Amino acid sequence: MSDQPLSDIRVIDLTQYIAGPYCTKLLADFGADVIKIERPGGGDLARRLGPFPGDVPHSEKSGLFLHLNTNKRSVVLNLKTSEGTDVLRSLLSGADILVESFRPGEMARLGLDPADLQQTYPNLVITSISNFGQTGPYRDYKASEITLFAMGGRMSRSGLPDRYPLKLGGNHVQYQAGNCAAMATLFAWYAGRYKGIGGQHVDIAIFETQLASYNSRMPYLLAYAYTGERGTRGEPGGGGYPSGYYPCADGYIHITGGGAFFPRSAALLGRPELATDPRFAPPLGQLNRQSKEEFEITLWLPWLLERTRSEVVETAQSYELLCGAVYSIDEVVQNPQLTAREYFVDIDHPVSGTFRYPGAPIMPSEPWWRLRRPAPLLGQHTGEVLTELLGASAEELARLEERGVITSSAYSNERVSL
Amino acid sequence: MAGQVYPLEGIRVIDITVVWAGPYGTMFLADMGAEVIRVESINIFPSSSRGQFARPSKEAEARRDYGASVYPNRDPGERPWNRPATFNAHARNKYSMTANLTTPEGKDVFRRLVEVSDVFVENNAVGSMERLGFTYPVLSQWNPRLIAISATGQGRTGPWAHYRGYGSQSEALMGHSSVMGYPDMDPSGAPGSVATDATTGVTIALATVMALHQREKTGKGIFIDLSMSETFIPHLGEHFMDYFINQRVAGALGNRDPNLVQGCYRCLGEDEWIAITIGADDHWQALCQAMEQPEMAKDPRFATMSARQERHDEIDQIIEAWTSQHAPYDLFHKLQNEGVPSGPVMHEDQVHSDPHVRAREFLVPITHPEIGTHDYPSTVFKASKLPFKVRKPPVRLGEDNDYVYREVLKLTEAEYDHLKTLGQIGMDYDPSIR
């Protein structure tokens, strides 16, 4: 078995919640040694957010935390003490990448100004993830998943025209920022490694990861520059019909079957002549609202309502139409495609037990994505990391622990054998 | 900065990507210095790549809904395929050549290109590359160091491998459509999201960097099977984990979140809205302050998060009664001054004039030879030594044929002329293509 691609990279991870941890999860799952620094007391904020088994909060059982922190090691370090920042600096001297998600300016307040760190560690890539970036008039503004999508993303076009705009599911904006941060971090690291330009500071504004998202936002920001027209909610402009969500016998499907694809939809209905019927034919027939209504009511919906989702999808796909069924989460986890590809994985965790988890985002022909360890217990690797990387003795560890600089796992001695 | 060096300089990428996800991925590679060569055909027009149609009529563009045309001034112009915003937004820094890969001569050109390239990215329906004979075993014989990435809706193996789809179909199939949408409606109210196009593009670039580094260690290329669905499922981690842990199936939550009180509220003006999140007690106190309702800040009915969540509908009404009297940016700055997480639903024109967007130089003027100068979105990150740079404007169909055929592939003039006589070289789609 070959090495994982990032097995020669060490990352010091000062992030919490979702965006930063998803960035470092991607790096860790592809082999990087990610050392997650958590604060004494509660650690990562995500440890306090659900879903928890039976909805009973427990710092080692958050489904969100367990998902986001696979393959990382946890070190509890008090960065509000000078000894704590000394330990961090020692760790940085053997690291390739530092990722942080403090509010802008907090690193400097901790005595860890990225510009100063860059002087001391000229090859270190420092990635900062924040809502609006490290500069600009909104730098210190507060944000959330929905406000970042409202400002950065395509929310103005999301939802029905006569109702309020809608956010997307879950925390996609946060995750996608982590995805972008991992990509940008590796670009910077690769430039240092192979082009000899040393380290640098990567500034990820979650706001901008949405502005430049090809979830329609980036192209339509340019469309505005081209036309001077604001977008509206409702049917995606100009795609023709059938397009969007439609009911069928046992649920809903989503299809892109209009415009250039309309001849295939006509063939599917056994009415190929509709493709040249001036009422429906592209381009003008496909832009006519009355024709759309007529097509949907007299031809399309009657065909759909006699068929199940999977019948509709299989038939539409056989006509090379772009069509998928709307499945709920429980249907997704047992669908034949993800099952055949063995996408979901089982992970044992010493406190929370064994659950299934989402799997690898890509499937290379070599097993790059591997589970070396489950999400860490709070401070599980404090002693291990300081011993292994800094050569700390048992006496030094005890002294640091006594002075409140580090904490070892509450689980390290009793309840769990690790 | 003088002597700027980008990480992927010296890396050549063959790009047979279509629609959005694939081209978005190769955009990042081109921005980082790779020589990304789009291999296009003047005999085949892949829909929704360089526009929906090769030659849309001026009349059709004029009739589209407001905000729905992607052509400059709604004018498809002489060469419409060089003009759609949906294409040009990702097409800077790339190269374009034309070849007909269904002919023996085109296949030979492709083989020669594979021999001198590092990376091959494509996102066509499963079967397309097989029909052309460009499977990875063949490509890696031509060039064992070639890294090939194939992005598809559902992956290249399994019973759904043949499914065609855009991001929106992937999002229906893997659960996203079931958790967005209005809570009081069936799924027909859910947005037509293509978030998977965004995740897939970034993942293509991430995978490429990893593969290039791995190639330095192993001396060999690799084949990467990327399923748009599988790149996105981790983004719904909480919902999947809740199912695996508690067997609880998430439904459409609209704008709500189980840990928060939040919404998107109507403001003064046409289609103006502001999103506000109350994630902690001090946010609530600050919101009451901003609304000038100090008595509500002390009201025990709203004092805790669980109390507020029980009265979510009532709170929404109180907030909207206030926001509907004010313009969104006024509310935004007032709420932020009090420390309330909030943000206006920014329409495209507001992004273009936003002071933060401008201060960070997110929008960059680019001059395109056929459509002039406009402000383009730049990219998703800023890096101190890798400033965003446009070396080439959005690429026109076939504009780099001379460069690629003569300097990259080193064809003789006789060979190049032969391809021209076969009708494979050009900057215009065949007149038969509508």
Q: How do residues A196-205 score in pLDDT, each as one tens digit?
A: 999 999 999 9
Residue of A nearest to B283 (CA): A142
In a domain, A51, yes or no: yes
Residue with tokens 């996102």: B123
The confidence score (pLDDT) of residue A235 equals 60
In a domain, A234, yes or no: no
Residue with tokens 């509000």: A80
The confidence score (pLDDT) of residue A418 equals 38
Residues A131 and A251 in one domain: no
Nearest chain B CA: its distance from A202 CA (Å): 4
Q: Would you call A146 and B66 a contact, using CB atoms and an 8 Å cutoff?
A: no
**B314 CB-near residues (< 8 Å, 6+ apart):** none
Residues A64 and A173 in one domain: yes
Q: Are strands A353-357 and A345-349 parallel, antiparallel or unpaired?
A: antiparallel
Q: Which amino acid is at B193?
A: S
Residues A43 and A154 in one domain: yes
In a domain, A415, yes or no: no
**Residue A416: pLDDT above 50?**
no
Strand partners, A251: A248
Taking the Cβ of residue B46 and every Cβ of chain A, the question of whether any pair is shorter than 8 Å is answered with: no
Q: Would you call A329 and B262 a contact, using CB atoms and an 8 Å cutoff?
A: no
What CA–CA distance (Å, rounded) separates B249 from B5? 49
pLDDT tens over chain B, length 434 residues: 456 899 999 999 999 999 999 999 999 999 999 999 999 999 999 988 999 999 999 998 998 888 889 999 999 999 999 999 999 999 999 999 999 999 999 999 999 999 999 999 999 999 999 999 999 999 999 999 999 999 999 999 999 999 999 999 999 999 999 999 999 999 988 998 999 999 999 999 999 999 999 999 999 999 999 999 999 999 999 999 999 999 999 999 999 999 999 999 999 999 999 999 999 999 999 999 999 999 999 999 999 999 999 999 999 999 999 999 999 999 999 999 999 999 999 999 999 999 999 999 999 999 999 999 999 999 999 999 999 999 999 999 999 999 999 999 999 999 999 999 999 999 999 999 98
The confidence score (pLDDT) of residue A53 equals 98
In a domain, A417, yes or no: no
In a domain, A413, yes or no: no
Q: Would you call A341 and B227 a contact, using CB atoms and an 8 Å cutoff?
A: yes
Q: Which residues in chain B have their CB less than 8 angstroms from residue A284's CB? A: 57, 59-60, 63
Asked if residue A117 lies in contact with residue A141, where contact means CB atoms within 8 angstroms, the answer is: no
Nearest chain A CA: its distance from B78 CA (Å): 16
Report the percentage of chain B scoring pLDDT > 90: 95
Q: Which residues in chain A have their CB less than 8 angstroms from residue B85's CB? A: 219-220, 222-223, 225-226
Q: Which residues in chain B have their CB less than 8 angstroms from residue A329's CB? A: 175, 178-179, 236, 239-240, 243, 249-250
The confidence score (pLDDT) of residue A413 equals 43
Q: Quick one: which of B204, B207, B236, B242 has its CA closest to B123?
A: B204
Q: Are strands A406-407 and A72-77 parallel, antiparallel or unpaired?
A: antiparallel
**Residue A412: pLDDT above 60?**
no
Q: Would you call B342 and A358 a contact, using CB atoms and an 8 Å cutoff?
A: no
Question: Which tokens is B150 given?
Answer: 């194939």
The confidence score (pLDDT) of residue B192 equals 85
In a domain, A2, yes or no: no
Residue with tokens 């082999």: A31
Asked if residue A229 lies in contact with residue A167, where contact means CB atoms within 8 angstroms, the answer is: no
Residues A18 and A110 in one domain: yes
**Residue A417: pLDDT above 90?**
no
Q: Which of A268, A302, A327 is the last residue of a domain?
A: A327
The B273-278 sheet, strands edge to edge: B261-266, B273-278, B342-344
Across the range A12-24, mean pLDDT stands at 98
Of B161, B250, B254, the CB nearest to A329: B250
Instruction: Provide the domain count of chain A.
Output: 2
In a domain, A233, yes or no: no
Q: Which of A327, A358, A375 is the last residue of a domain?
A: A327
Taking residue B314's Cβ as centre, other Cβ atoms within 10 Å add up to: 12
Residues A150 and A197 in one domain: yes
Taking the Cβ of residue B339 and every Cβ of chain A, the question of whether any pair is shorter than 8 Å is answered with: yes
Asked if residue B85 lies in contact with residue A220, where contact means CB atoms within 8 angstroms, the answer is: yes
The confidence score (pLDDT) of residue B47 equals 85
Please give the domain boundaries of chain B with CATH numbers for all domains. 12-234+360-421 (3.40.50.10540), 272-346 (3.30.1540.10)
Asked if residue A326 lies in contact with residue B177, where contact means CB atoms within 8 angstroms, the answer is: yes
Residues A36 and A122 in one domain: yes
The confidence score (pLDDT) of residue B56 equals 92
Q: Which residues in chain A have their CB less than 8 angstroms from residue B239's CB? A: 169-170, 329
Asked if residue A203 lies in contact with residue A181, where contact means CB atoms within 8 angstroms, the answer is: no
Residue with tokens 């598809």: B152
Cβ neighbourhood burial of A20 (10 Å; 0-12, 13-18, 19+): buried
Residues A312 and A371 in one domain: no
A window 108-167, beta carbon within 8 A of B:
132-133, 135-138, 141-152, 155-160, 163-167
| pLDDT band (50, 70, 90) for residue A238 | low
Print the SS3 string covering A34-69.
EEEEECCCCCCHHHHCCCCHHHCCCCCCCHHHHHHC
Report the percentage of chain A scoring pLDDT > 70: 96
In a domain, A91, yes or no: yes
The confidence score (pLDDT) of residue A409 equals 78
What CA–CA distance (Å, rounded) separates A268 from A246? 16
Residues A71 and A125 in one domain: yes
Of B153, B178, B348, the CB nearest to A329: B178
What CA–CA distance (Å, rounded) separates B184 from A121? 54
Tally A–B CB contacts below 8 A: 559
Probe site for chain B from A52, A126, A147, A220 (most B CB atoms < 10 A): A147
Taking the Cβ of residue B389 and every Cβ of chain A, the question of whether any pair is shorter than 8 Å is answered with: no
Q: Which residues in chain A have their CB less than 8 angstroms from residue B120's CB? A: none
Q: How far is CA B293 from CA B260, B279, B303, in A?
A: 21, 19, 14
Of A66, A191, A362, the CB nearest to B231: A362
Q: Are strands A243-248 and A200-205 parallel, antiparallel or unpaired?
A: unpaired
Residues A205 and A291 in one domain: no
Question: Which tokens is B333 given?
Answer: 């700055």
Q: Would you call A146 and B167 a contact, using CB atoms and an 8 Å cutoff?
A: no
Q: SS3 for A183?
A: helix
Residues A80 and A114 in one domain: yes
**B410 CB-near residues (< 8 Å, 6+ apart):** none
Instruction: Look up the domain containing A282 and give its range.
Output: 243-327
Question: Which tokens is A26 given?
Answer: 């991607």
Print the SS3 string covering chain B.
CCCCCCCCCCCEEEEECCCCHHHHHHHHHHHCCCEEEEEECCCCCCCCECECCCCCCHHHHHHCCCCCCCCHHHCCCCCHHHCCHHHHCCCCCEEEEECCCCCHHHHHHHHHHHHCCCEEEECCCCCHHHHHCCCHHHHHHHCCCCEEEEEECCCCCCCCCCCCCCHHHHHHHCCHHHHCCCCCCCHHHCCCCCHHHHHHHHHHHHHHHHHHHHHHHHCCCCEEEEEHHHHHHHHHHHHHHHHHHHCCCCCCCCCCCCCCEEEEEECCCCCCEEEEEECCHHHHHHHHHHCCCHHHHHCHHHCCHHHHHHCHHHHHHHHHHHHCCCCHHHHHHHHHHHCCCEEECCCHHHHHHCHHHHHCCCEEEEEECCCEEEEEECCCCEECCCCCCCCCCCCCCCCCHHHHHHHHCCCCHHHHHHHHHCCCCCCCCCCCCC
| pLDDT band (50, 70, 90) for residue A165 | very high
What CA–CA distance (Å, rounded) separates B13 from B18? 15
Taking the Cβ of residue B2 and every Cβ of chain A, the question of whether any pair is shorter than 8 Å is answered with: no
Q: Which amino acid is at A189?
A: W
Of B176, B248, B383, the CB nearest to A169: B176
Q: Please write the tens of the pLDDT for every residue from A342-389.
A: 999 999 999 999 999 999 999 999 999 999 999 999 999 999 999 999
Of B21, B275, B357, the CB nearest to A150: B275
Question: Which tokens is B21 given?
Answer: 């996800």
The confidence score (pLDDT) of residue A410 equals 63
Q: Which residues in chain B have their CB less than 8 angstroms from residue A176's CB? A: 195, 198-199, 202, 235
Taking the Cβ of residue A175 and every Cβ of chain B, the question of whether any pair is shorter than 8 Å is answered with: yes
Q: Which amino acid is at B199?
A: T
Of A166, A184, A211, the CB nearest to B180: A166
Q: Quick one: which of B281, B231, B136, B404 has its CA closest to A26?
A: B231
Residues A305 and A355 in one domain: no
Q: Are strands A97-100 and B261-266 parallel, antiparallel or unpaired?
A: unpaired
Indicate if ipTM > 0.95: yes
**Residue A292: pLDDT above 60?**
yes
Q: Please write the tens of the pLDDT for every residue from A80-133.
A: 999 999 999 999 999 999 999 999 999 999 999 999 999 999 999 999 999 999
**Residue A411: pLDDT above 80?**
no
Probe site for chain A from B382, B389, B390 (most A CB atoms < 10 A): B382
Residues A182 and A314 in one domain: no
Of A168, A195, A230, the CB nearest to B5: A195
Q: Which of A293, A327, A361 is the last residue of a domain?
A: A327
The CATH code of the domain that includes A18 is 3.40.50.10540
Q: Quick one: which of B155, B199, B212 has its CA closest to B29?
A: B212
The CATH code of the domain that includes A277 is 3.30.1540.10
Probe site for chain B from A329, A354, A356, A369 (most B CB atoms < 10 A): A329
The confidence score (pLDDT) of residue A415 equals 40
Q: Would you call A164 and B7 a contact, using CB atoms and an 8 Å cutoff?
A: no
